[in-house]
Structure 1
């Protein structure tokens, strides 16, 4: 009976040591700090209000560019009495940045639509990941969810084993086993109660979706696309519209007002382009500034293992500790009924007064 108690205490101590070594060896303190830095940086962009505004802004941009190409340019060409390709060539001559933008719009906008769509689709996963381990605790607390139980289990396992060998009674080792059972049960219940299994799965989906975005190549492409759109917008306002007004022999304010009235989506887009592009530019620059942070956060527990394994590295040891200590306690208490814990049990008794 005592042998099983010794084995249980040894295994509990080893599991405690493993729970201490794992987060430190995996670099969890730095990686979980990276998760907090990442969620703090992007939390404003993933609120329901921000996602809805981004959806509206992107719709404004898409509708403006679609109407510009499908209706506005052909209409202006007709007013000027020239073919549409000739008008576009003229705009490209007077404002090369506008010509470049018009040429690249068919490839630029799908990329921005994809980025905005990914953010929209992953907003719920982001908010779940942001709640690891709980809504009120930072992600850096995850490290201590391993360290603290690990230290307690190492102490009670090693301490119970020591007293089991040197002590004449099993009270201390019994208390240690009971404490281990409580800690193990707490690990299991805590893991299930906080919902981190579902949260880490959501986090895994989010990281998978954004990996192509948080790269040097992804950032550079988005940065260049915004630069093209920004220069095109400036060129439209400062060069193309004045040139078209001169071609049609109209004052610039009159031409601009007529343009906004006849083509309202273009008018609305031109009025809001600066704000919209500034907003997307801030998002893209935030991505560029957090590429290394994303990479660290995405490596929990390591590059080859998904983050969804993390709860099981608490749940498994917790269940093992609870079972080991529980079985040891059952054996110990049930064994006492037949006197098996008495080292002299079963020895023949000498008759009273018998000669030695």
Structure 2
């Protein structure tokens, strides 16, 4: 293995130094060459699951331009490896890198269902939608092993409390039985992320996510079971998927999505370096073009942190994206409405009289 070799099955191609740590770990070329000669692995590419023990699990979202009030994340870090993911930066707070560590060191919160139930039984808590995966995907591969998301959904059903889910993994279908029960009382809304219709682009952009075909099938199955679906066509990356907007909107509309949302990519914190390194290794012929177009959406930089603007972008390229999205909405989503979730049943079941059979 040499420094320039592409790490298959991963998004990030390196571990960016953690800005909070005094020291950083670096693989030098002489060490890599030694490993090659000796036939040894310079680094283990396997995913490691690390137990985490938070005191609380429900987080209040204070950002004024994020359309959710509360979120919870059964896992920190995400094996999906989406190269653009804003959540990468949060891994630095745990003492890890936003690069490969984010994909290979997954923190597992086994106590999440118990902490959630404690929150819902709290005297001052009133029903407001709690979104699973406000940060990292609750249906990433770790869910196959630990089943924490399913256990949390059982708690939401027990208390008839509204819940939202954001995911790009067809693994959500294993919980179709619970989702159907929640949907009967308008207690569930699912947001499925579809970033591209190109499987080749998906493999390098989001290496361990469900295939595009499987993701579109997931939207259809959920819709056919009367589970409301909003498609997240996000992020839109100029020069990579910005030409797909109309086709993306039509594809999710044809499968039964009731609405869609989008963002213009921004590469905040360590992600700017990680993304730039990735694109120069995966798409070197268009790297400069893509990076310059992203900068054109954010006043000459890869990131804009201003609320209300940071995820919308500015300038001609961003305006073109917004115009295409408006056209797609008029063309494919006329008269469709994503329902408001029901908060009326929770007070009746707050003491846990109703059990999941």
- Does 1 or 2 have the higher relative contact order (CA < 8 Å, sep 6+)? 1
Q: From the two aligned structures, give the one with the greater helix fraction.
A: 1
- Shorter-chain TM-score: what band? under 0.3
TM-score (norm 1): 0.20
Higher alpha-carbon Rg:
1
